Structure 1
């Protein structure tokens, strides 16, 4: 059957896409034809580029292609099948799911945890069951989109404080108390992923305690490599978060799956009422088994963490010496600030031709005028990889006019 004639609605969408493209904001995808790793093969526009240095994956510890995770996933499929074909409370829970939830809880220092298909779902399902119209949630202005969307779904009164501005957080806490809030939850990323900044958790914790508020931390870009044994930003700072969310899709293997960890009654209520949990298929056995194997490697992974931060320091120093504009920090996320979206895309394309895989970040992922190339370090990158990439950055910087 032929397609119907274009409708005004589809014409409108086509015009919107054309404007996105004209503004230099169109995102494109390149096909990786190898395992995710420090060096990858990429097919772009019909041409395969072999052994490209990969500087934009969330594969912080290099576990995405680790043999132990692959073996665990294969073994789970042999023993337990491919998929669960059900949500958890009907017939989708296996003993493996509860093993991983208990293991994550112990690792993070909480009573229990609950698994979701992704941390986007975990954040989307967290707030609505816990907070009502009598309550308040106070969110950092740079929080991840999943926290913003999760807060939108709940009926609590919403307050926002400027990124890491403790005076503003105090002002919002005072406003919530003055407005008669029954319970207050402060929500923050542990690491702000576009910038590589760490939340000021000791000060936030102190303010939460002063005002009798709960502290929620999304630790996706920290679990596995920040803090002792990689237990995250709260452990890094020596404080306790009341609720933590995180992912298996970054340092813990790089596949998919999210979680919420916290006090037992809170987790029990989420099992009853968190909609993404109640209405999504259970994680497949292969993912869960690999998650358990990843935690084994992470807990014994001081060498990987040391290499990751050694790489990050070397890379940051090399970029700074070359003259690139960077944001301050010590996290393995190291953004190269360019300002203009088209420039970020042009430099990313130039780098790809030189054998370095990066992505330009621009509005709406970051504010207008703050476009960048976000580089991310990996424990499996070698010094030769980093030197090769630094040479490519210098050449691409000169070719695009970023460097003089």
Structure 2
């Protein structure tokens, strides 16, 4: 009898694991349930502002969500066998999510990046157990992104059983954001406008799809980087990371967008620093670009329009770039406040956007299909 009781007691959680409330019992439970915060208009229009969803409160940022989901679904389908390597291209944030998933599900992780990744991020990824592989030259037409993807393909050939999550085209990336949509719906009760940065297209597509189940008339505003080709602009060398692309990811749901804005690096830097100085809550390139657009929408829509903006990460990764005066001076990023309103173009092919620019004519460059937003 004593042996039976001992066996039962050995299976019980330790006393420290019995605390109720928000205690997490596993690493993956650290992800999600991020807060929202009211953010007044950045130029001080009384009573105007937007709600910011602070995804930087996840351990690594917004892409912890797809990092875990992509690996979980691949394991369930048998596409990823136990202990098999995970190999993916990343500019940073998904790398953190995959490093987390590698520890949760016990897979070695190799992350292919380029020289633009901040040294601090490379060191952090390595500390989390990921192998970081850096390509040394851009692809002639697809830039660094295509060069990274080509290297991923090479590594998959070299490692039997290796799995690439393919964040750019895998629909699991979109599905990963359903919980975030449910969180927003519960937190805000009603949302009229959603503002999201666009890179792989995963979080804009997934959150909008989830929210439109509750709010069918939701308007989706995409925020891209100048020099990005996602919405039909010419591809250029880009300083900003985390949004924009030099390829056309198939996870971008072009039909879901009502308008798109392109934002330049100096404009994102000013906005990030303004947020930090006045609201404390801030982040990286995507946060600055999204906040600039969301703030303009808040002061130009009627005051009963409820705007939610997704902040993908926090500021810590950007201490040596956005928040470093020497870096910003070298790149000409300290030129003062952005214009109070964007330029307007009728079609993405009308002219190249080199500063904050808005367009309501949505184009899928890969299929040449376009539509004018209502």
| TMscore range, shorter length | 0.3 to 0.5
More helix by share: 1
TM-score when scaled to structure 1? 0.31
